[in-house]
Structure 1
């Protein structure tokens, strides 16, 4: 028996060798094939490849190396009772139980009375001990034998040694002890006849030692990737080589030297062992090293040079086998990737979606953008590529899991309204309470009107307070009523809607009940019963949720199993249970959406270097890749020299990048965020990308890094080399070379009548008017929505509405004290003495303003005329001295001045006589003021009115940035040539801002006016 090794630079070759080994090593029909892999993704790929080559793949028993060794040891020793005692999860509970007994004041000061902190610390200690068991077993043996690692042990070593001694006193059969016992009892009968290890890139020294011992009794076949067929395990980086005075002719392959440290350590360990090696490297050039021909791709040349340890420099035709792009954001990275993939499909019909793998440092950072870019909508004309997103966590991808964890936070929450709405948005909860989408929208409206923000008690803004207002409003009257001088009802609910209110009441009561019950300590078994009750009470699980629900239930059951295995019988607080479940549900779902016949997106996972025609890596930024280890302060490996076989995330990611290079068959696609999306400042790519770019430039004179613009509608995105396949932005690009025109809107059907107020509204907001009149689209106003925070101050708009309410009360002879009481109790104003003070201050101001207007003896008058076959009308007020009067209980704006001017023009046109206009308002000093327009000559009253109407109609055909606010200087000078200035400023201003937007300058008009997005882009689409 022996260890057989099969190195190759291509995983496909290893599969062929594996298939031949299976045929050669014939077995009994029912004997399983033992296959050890480094990741579940590799297991899935290997299963499919074996099925392709052998027409079937069955009776295979896949396992991870460490798990296989543990199971084998316990089977050989025939001792299963202590199998889980030193697993991370069980060890965490055992440490949690013993932590108070080790006399470490530093630890006690950290967790104090917090069970959650204590458990999280126990879990971290368990992780460190698991690391010791795998990489430093000799340390643990010394501690078990009452010895220390060093002559002068640190405080951290002292308490860790004591804790380990307590653990071994409870159970002396540590994994190391079990492994030693198993090695003594090893024989061929206790082992499979063949053990296959496939596609791993590293094995810990402890595990490798055990496998070598197994190899003395059975055949162990190690099939692994080796990027180079030459001896390269003593390569140094160029900089290190110069420090060591290595001769110039010493072969230094930059990529192997920079990224291959993990592989070098692993292969060096193998060389030290007794083994039989069967190499199967690809020979690109039939044993003759020649300069690559023009037909060879750049990627192939790099792979060959790595394979042959070649350091020669070449000049070859640059192709698209290597693509490196710089973008501004994750969204742009995904958009640019989609365009590049469409281009690849166009150029090579042999490439299919299943031939593409896209890796990200953290898939959750990219998942929303992937779904938005790759998911086809009903109005989408672009051919979207089918994709699947693997490695997503349940808590981030499934609303049911996320809401379940949020419910476990109820005792610490204040029942914020947005969280309750989040619960109501979960489909499983909606089914349980029979709430539809429309009903949820109605509930949101009620809660907004009821001014519910947070809290459960009867105080203002709480749930009990707000729901009581709604219920009493339904029961008592159709008008708001004041109850007991301190409560204002809300008659917002119709008879046919009362059931929805009842469902909301039921949910709040259940959440309140669970909030109290969650505060109780329970045993693990009692927690299981209670949590399953919560799931069953709040959620209606259908087929789509069954898989997720089963995972939640399994993780709850694991807590019971682990506490039983740890002999932990104490009562457990909610914070500990919540922490365990949150961590468990934050783990990637195994084998979820990986290799589903679509473009596969996944996280960067070591030992998952599966060959694809196209391999892409996104997010290769200096801050995210290579990933950094989170060092734990009490991890003693940080304070001792590293040993061969030690792993770090940095080395893992570097070697993953090297394996990615040799795993891409046609195209290697790399992307990073090279510029800030905020200010366009340059950002550093990953050090790995910088080294790879330097290599490409030095050895191949490659300098084809593409920097994409911030916006997908930039003209650059539709030029050669940057081609976008998204035609929805193409109309903007065409519009750059054409002037804006309104031919398609020239014949739109406009209203047959306009009021003066409607004309003023058009000038006040051309975008909004264009959207409403021309496009027939009205967007929701930005009214205050659901908020977790009650009002603490009164803004200008609220003050204006208060004054309007008070003025309306005076004008309609209503009870002013009752109005003030309504304003105080409505919930829209802060509950503060300052509110009452502000109300009474404005009451005096409004009273004086009303008296001023009332003494004018105003009379209503309706004006009506026809201009350009369009009816123009208005309702005005005339004072006793025949002055046209307008008034408002706030400061004057330019549109108000224009309105007064047009009202006077209309009156003069209807009655063919002059009139003076006066607009009463409240100035900045909170004083009553007025703006007057005395009559001035115009050439033609009808032409003047016609000019304004014409410009208003033009705005409905083509929106403009020429707001009426631009014209105030003109009005201040009594200049009646306002139309001419509007016309002159209209097109240049629009075009100027258009170019600013097109070139990616910081001009955020959409935050100023939300109708811009609809109106402006609709106009451009007509070009």
Structure 2
């Protein structure tokens, strides 16, 4: 296989997809060699598998298959690149590291602030393990610096509130030895071609990674002289790539300049620092990078994307203000009370989009959530509930259901029953608010106990909303500390709602109606 390198940059992953499909479509000289695709998350992997099936089926026969393609995550790739063939054998992997941390912290809780008071020691150890893992993957210079006894980040001194990480990391290091980050840094510039061929057979493609360290880019540049490498990166501001190519960040990011300070667009100034640093490193190491331009749509979202692409301020010219005033629906902000209501509004918005656009399918929709552990219990009962298709205003059509799949869920360290107990105490400790009770009722152990399916949950939710439940058992409950609500005001309590519900059941309706 002839060593080579190709680097592509585009404003969206959708633009890069056909290029990756074209690369995978070309047969390798040895049909038994795999294609290796490094992706940042399980969500990206699943999306690629689904989309590549369509891209490779150029004739629409439905007979195209995606086979002999290995999808790796960044840390797995790092381990293979430095000669560790099985990521599961790495004692610094999160699944193994959390138990080492739990043992150390149980013996000496002072090693991590707040561990002694943690409700779930294993969950705390899990979060610290994930933190150390991110350092090894995205900032390997930091653990390599710590290993030689320098308490820095990686060249500037650690802030006082971060110094416990250095002490705890060293305690772990003394137990399980050299870290992945150290080995990754040590391997840079000393790769054995034969070992690389064994660990990385076939073609190597890097797709959608959003952060590159100097060590990672240096390793990729070295690998490009040994194998067939292609990098596909998403970068929203194509106009600034030429300027970034002239920036020499050296080996230590964030130590002497902040590239985001030079941006004109406020979104870029706030959120783009890691992306700008990664692009500066990539464009300098691979000066022949190919940039794919996108045609901006004549919508509010298109205008926003265009302002980012050209690093413009968000000021809207007078002749284009009508775009915002009309509200074309391409960019929406909803103000909702509580997680349950947020999921309900999301469900309704998606159903409207699907009804308005026949070409849009559920597989084309991805929902990004910063706290999936909180919202995951609500997704099934709320978004997965069946509904009737409305035909010309008459909701008597076929029963439909949104297909929902939760991916990229953080490894849970508690059981569903423990989550339900925690939700129960949370509801009782928060005035028995309707949103908290619904969140409790949405949990699988509770629904199973009371035989409530998705449709049943939707019915209960509708009843409670119609009954205008807000909080509190009754007026006596509200009047006690710490609520100290004026006595005699029962409106919105659970007692009034239950009384109204029972009365509605006992009093016969003069006409038949659906419950």
TM-score normalised by L of structure 2? 0.62
Q: State the Cα distance separating 1:1009 from its structure 2 match.
A: 3.7
Per-residue CA deviation, residues 534-593 of structure 1 (Å, 9 max, x unaligned), is xxxxxxxxxxxxxxxxxxxxxxxxxxxxxxxxxxxxxxxxxxxxxxxxxxxxxxxxxxxx
Output aligned runs, 1:732-881, within 5 Å.
none
Q: State the Cα distance separating 1:195 from its structure 2 match.
A: 1.0
Going from structure 1 to structure 2, the CA distance change for 1:177 and 1:196 (only over 3 Å counts) comes to: same
In 1, are the aligned partners of 2:388 and 2:400 still within 8 Å (CA)?
no
What residue in structure 1 maps to residue 402 of structure 2?
Answer: 386
- Whether 2:288 is the aligned partner of 1:276: answer yes
Q: State the Cα distance separating 1:14 from its structure 2 match.
A: 0.8
What residue in structure 1 maps to residue 254 of structure 2?
Answer: none
In 2, are the aligned partners of 1:2 and 1:276 still within 8 Å (CA)?
no
Output aligned runs, 1:625-704, within 5 Å.
none
What residue in structure 2 maps to residue 1011 of structure 1?
Answer: 502
CA distance in 2, matches of 1:346, 1:34: 38
Match among 327, 333, 337 for residue 324 of structure 1: 333
In 2, are the aligned partners of 1:10 and 1:281 still within 8 Å (CA)?
no
CA distance in 1, matches of 2:263, 2:174: 54
What residue in structure 2 maps to residue 356 of structure 1?
Answer: 365
In 2, are the aligned partners of 1:186 and 1:217 still within 8 Å (CA)?
no
Q: State the Cα distance separating 1:138 from its structure 2 match.
A: 4.9
What residue in structure 2 maps to residue 8 of structure 1?
Answer: 10
What residue in structure 2 maps to residue 256 of structure 1?
Answer: 268
Q: Report the secondary structure of 1:6's partner residue.
A: strand
Match among 227, 233, 243 for residue 218 of structure 1: 227
CA distance in 1, matches of 2:113, 2:51: 55
In 1, are the aligned partners of 2:111 and 2:167 still within 8 Å (CA)?
no
In 1, are the aligned partners of 2:387 and 2:401 still within 8 Å (CA)?
no
In 1, are the aligned partners of 2:241 and 2:283 still within 8 Å (CA)?
no
What residue in structure 2 maps to residue 376 of structure 1?
Answer: 386
Output aligned runs, 1:364-513, within 5 Å.
364-365=374-375, 367-368=377-378, 371-372=381-382, 374-376=384-386, 381=396, 384-391=400-407, 402-403=416-417
Q: Report the secondary structure of 2:233's partner residue.
A: strand
**Bigger mean CA offset, 26-35 vs 116-125:** 116-125
Q: Report the secondary structure of 2:291's partner residue.
A: coil
- Whether 2:86 is the aligned partner of 1:74: answer no
Going from structure 1 to structure 2, the CA distance change for 1:71 and 1:1006 (only over 3 Å counts) comes to: same
What residue in structure 2 maps to residue 51 of structure 1?
Answer: 53
Going from structure 1 to structure 2, the CA distance change for 1:126 and 1:323 (only over 3 Å counts) comes to: closer
In 1, are the aligned partners of 2:39 and 2:207 still within 8 Å (CA)?
yes
- Whether 2:189 is the aligned partner of 1:175: answer no
What residue in structure 2 maps to residue 36 of structure 1?
Answer: 38
- Whether 2:304 is the aligned partner of 1:302: answer yes
Match among 46, 68, 74 for residue 65 of structure 1: 74
Output aligned runs, 1:509-588, within 5 Å.
none
What residue in structure 2 maps to residue 86 of structure 1?
Answer: 92
CA distance in 1, matches of 2:115, 2:33: 51
- Whether 2:266 is the aligned partner of 1:266: answer no
CA distance in 1, matches of 2:51, 2:157: 55
Q: Report the secondary structure of 2:363's partner residue.
A: helix
What residue in structure 2 maps to residue 206 of structure 1?
Answer: 215
Going from structure 1 to structure 2, the CA distance change for 1:1018 and 1:216 (only over 3 Å counts) comes to: farther
CA distance in 2, matches of 1:216, 1:376: 55
Q: State the Cα distance separating 1:281 from its structure 2 match.
A: 1.7
Q: Which runs of 5+ in 1 are unaligned?
A: 236-249, 285-291, 408-421, 431-436, 441-709, 715-1000
How many residue pairs get aligned? The number is 412
Q: Report the secondary structure of 2:9's partner residue.
A: strand
CA distance in 2, matches of 1:352, 1:197: 27
Per-residue CA deviation, residues 651-686 of structure 1 (Å, 9 max, x unaligned), is xxxxxxxxxxxxxxxxxxxxxxxxxxxxxxxxxxxx
Q: State the Cα distance separating 1:230 from its structure 2 match.
A: 0.9
Computed over aligned residues only, the root mean square deviation of the Cα atoms, in angstroms, reads: 5.2
Q: State the Cα distance separating 1:368 from its structure 2 match.
A: 3.2
Going from structure 1 to structure 2, the CA distance change for 1:23 and 1:99 (only over 3 Å counts) comes to: closer
In 2, are the aligned partners of 1:298 and 1:316 still within 8 Å (CA)?
no
CA distance in 2, matches of 1:251, 1:170: 45
CA distance in 2, matches of 1:388, 1:7: 31
In 2, are the aligned partners of 1:66 and 1:207 still within 8 Å (CA)?
no
Going from structure 1 to structure 2, the CA distance change for 1:424 and 1:333 (only over 3 Å counts) comes to: closer
Q: Relative to total residues, which structure has the larger strand share, 1 or 2?
A: 1
In 2, are the aligned partners of 1:233 and 1:265 still within 8 Å (CA)?
no
Q: State the Cα distance separating 1:223 from its structure 2 match.
A: 0.6
Q: Which runs of 5+ in 2 are unaligned?
A: 57-63, 245-261, 390-394, 422-442, 452-463, 469-490
CA distance in 2, matches of 1:321, 1:18: 28
Q: State the Cα distance separating 1:227 from its structure 2 match.
A: 1.9
Q: Report the secondary structure of 1:4's partner residue.
A: strand
Per-residue CA deviation, residues 259-302 of structure 1 (Å, 9 max, x unaligned), is 43332232222233234211222245xxxxxxx8xxx3333343
CA distance in 1, matches of 2:497, 2:91: 60
What residue in structure 1 maps to residue 434 of structure 2?
Answer: none
In 1, are the aligned partners of 2:21 and 2:55 still within 8 Å (CA)?
yes
Going from structure 1 to structure 2, the CA distance change for 1:301 and 1:166 (only over 3 Å counts) comes to: closer
Q: State the Cα distance separating 1:387 from its structure 2 match.
A: 2.6
In 1, are the aligned partners of 2:8 and 2:232 still within 8 Å (CA)?
yes
- Whether 2:321 is the aligned partner of 1:315: answer yes
CA distance in 1, matches of 2:418, 2:29: 49
What residue in structure 1 maps to residue 475 of structure 2?
Answer: none
- Whether 2:237 is the aligned partner of 1:228: answer yes
Going from structure 1 to structure 2, the CA distance change for 1:81 and 1:342 (only over 3 Å counts) comes to: closer
Going from structure 1 to structure 2, the CA distance change for 1:227 and 1:128 (only over 3 Å counts) comes to: closer
Q: State the Cα distance separating 1:356 from its structure 2 match.
A: 3.3
What residue in structure 1 maps to residue 190 of structure 2?
Answer: 184
Q: State the Cα distance separating 1:6 from its structure 2 match.
A: 0.5
In 2, are the aligned partners of 1:186 and 1:214 still within 8 Å (CA)?
no
Q: State the Cα distance separating 1:59 from its structure 2 match.
A: 0.4
What residue in structure 2 maps to residue 783 of structure 1?
Answer: none
In 2, are the aligned partners of 1:330 and 1:366 still within 8 Å (CA)?
no
CA distance in 2, matches of 1:713, 1:344: 30
In 1, are the aligned partners of 2:43 and 2:408 still within 8 Å (CA)?
no
In 2, are the aligned partners of 1:85 and 1:91 still within 8 Å (CA)?
yes
Going from structure 1 to structure 2, the CA distance change for 1:315 and 1:1009 (only over 3 Å counts) comes to: closer
What residue in structure 2 maps to residue 197 of structure 1?
Answer: 206
Per-residue CA deviation, residues 961-994 of structure 1 (Å, 9 max, x unaligned), is xxxxxxxxxxxxxxxxxxxxxxxxxxxxxxxxxx
CA distance in 2, matches of 1:72, 1:205: 15
Larger radius of gyration: 1
Output aligned runs, 1:63-142, within 5 Å.
63-75=72-84, 83-94=89-100, 106-107=110-111, 126-127=129-130, 129-134=132-137, 137-138=140-141, 140-141=143-144
CA distance in 2, matches of 1:267, 1:216: 21
Q: State the Cα distance separating 1:251 from its structure 2 match.
A: 7.9
CA distance in 2, matches of 1:57, 1:30: 14
